[in-house]
Amino acid sequence: MRLAFILGEIGSGLRRNLSMVVSVVLVTFVSLTFVGAAGMLQLQINQMKGYWYDKVQVAIFLCNDSSTATGCASGAVTKEQQDNLAKMLDSPAVKPYISDYQFESQADAFKHFKEQFSNSPIVDSVTQDQLPSSFRINMKNPEKYQIISETFSSQPGVETVSDQRQVLERIFEWMNGASVAAMVVAAVMIFCAVLLITTTIRLSAFSRRRETGIMRLVGASKTVIQLPFILEGVIAAVVGALLASGTLWLVAQFWLNGDLSRQFLNTPFISSTQVLVIAPVLIALGGGLAGISSLLTLRRYLKV
């Protein structure tokens, strides 16, 4: 009976305040979409890190005939220099940091180059001599790149030490920046949402002060008096959160895994199922914020 009564009260409250309730739904929808977008960017970064970090290598490029670096003053790398470098890679000072390494000769490099640019005219203008041979190193811990760089970059026969990871880091930094920006927008929007929920609940409490006054006098419990208002805010916010989750799912399903993944073939995009992990967070966040702000508003504006 009491449950039916509370449900009825919620229904009439939502109807009476329809336009305010709709605006609460929309504002929470937009703000939580931004929160979710920030979350998706983080998921995407993690996904790409997981995918690429196993594959990225540190490369020690060796001198060739056309090298201009100071370490290459004596011309192309010699057999001794190359053996010396290989010995250093196996030495106890370096070995603990690397899981394995391969030597890529100029011929291998040329082959890879031709594969990579198979349908570009640049292939015809490049000869094998122009490409450097290299040691390709898989690190145990990619963060320890500095050690390889310090040890090898001044060795004779080494043109340069390059970390593919740094290129990725720049991309991730950019994505991180975008996710922070989304969070900032989200924070402002959430602030708006909270203000709007507060106002809505206040209006709702005001428009029903007759009922609540009588409820108080006949001895209705605090819960029965307050719950309909709180749930009114929470329901509106949860609807907003569901809309936001739906939107993000659509974005993942039809944009990331549609258009974008056709354009960037070897980029691992997050799946629409992964986005569903964000949905409960959004719903809890929306519902929680609405519940707390309603409760605080009622404490001020609804005597029980």
Q: Does 224 bind other proteins (CB under 8 A)?
A: yes
Beta-strand runs (E) in the chain: 58-62, 98-104, 134-139, 158-163
Among 217, 262, 265, 266, binds other proteins (CB under 8 A): 217
Residue written as token pair 């001020």? 300
Q: Is 73 exposed, middle or buried (0-12, 13-18, 19+ CB in 10 A)?
A: exposed
Q: Does 273 bind other proteins (CB under 8 A)?
A: no
Q: Is 221 helix (H, G, I), strand (E, B) or coil?
A: coil
Q: Does 216 bind other proteins (CB under 8 A)?
A: yes
Quote the CA–CA distance of 12 and 19 in Å, as a whole number: 13
Q: How far is the CB of 233 from other proteins (least distance, A)?
A: 20
Quote the CA–CA distance of 172 and 269 in Å, as a whole number: 14
Quote the CA–CA distance of 296 and 299 in Å, as a whole number: 5
Q: Please identify, among the stretches 41-49, 111-119, 215-223, 240-248, the one whose residues bind other proteins according to the rule CB under 8 A.
A: 215-223
Q: How far is the CB of 300 from other proteins (least distance, A)?
A: 16
Quote the CA–CA distance of 35 and 50 in Å, as a whole number: 23
Q: How far is the CB of 296 from other proteins (least distance, A)?
A: 17
Q: Is 243 helix (H, G, I), strand (E, B) or coil?
A: helix
Q: How far is the CB of 9 from other proteins (least distance, A)?
A: 9
Q: Binders of other proteins: how many residues, by CB under 8 A?
A: 17
Q: Output 140 or 222, the one with its CB closest to other proteins.
A: 222
Q: Output 9 or 159, the one with its CB closest to other proteins.
A: 9
Q: Output 2 or 112, the one with its CB closest to other proteins.
A: 2
Q: How far is the CB of 286 from other proteins (least distance, A)?
A: 29
Query: What is the distance of C-alpha 278 from the center of its chain?
Result: 11
Among 214, 250, 276, 277, binds other proteins (CB under 8 A): 214
Q: Which residues of 86-105 are buried (b: 16+ CB within 10 A; e: fewer)?
A: eebbeeeebeebbeebeebe
Q: Output 223 or 273, the one with its CB closest to other proteins.
A: 223
CA atoms within 13 A on the CB side of 123: 13
Q: Output 89 or 215, the one with its CB closest to other proteins.
A: 215
CA end-to-end span of the chain, whole Å? 21
Among 92, 96, 121, 219, binds other proteins (CB under 8 A): 219
Q: Does 5 bind other proteins (CB under 8 A)?
A: yes
Q: Output 218 or 265, the one with its CB closest to other proteins.
A: 218
The two three-digit tokens of residue 198, written as one number: 């507060």
Q: Does 295 bind other proteins (CB under 8 A)?
A: no
Q: How far is the CB of 304 from other proteins (least distance, A)?
A: 8
Per CB under 8 A, residues contacting other proteins are 1-2, 5, 210-211, 213-222, 224-225
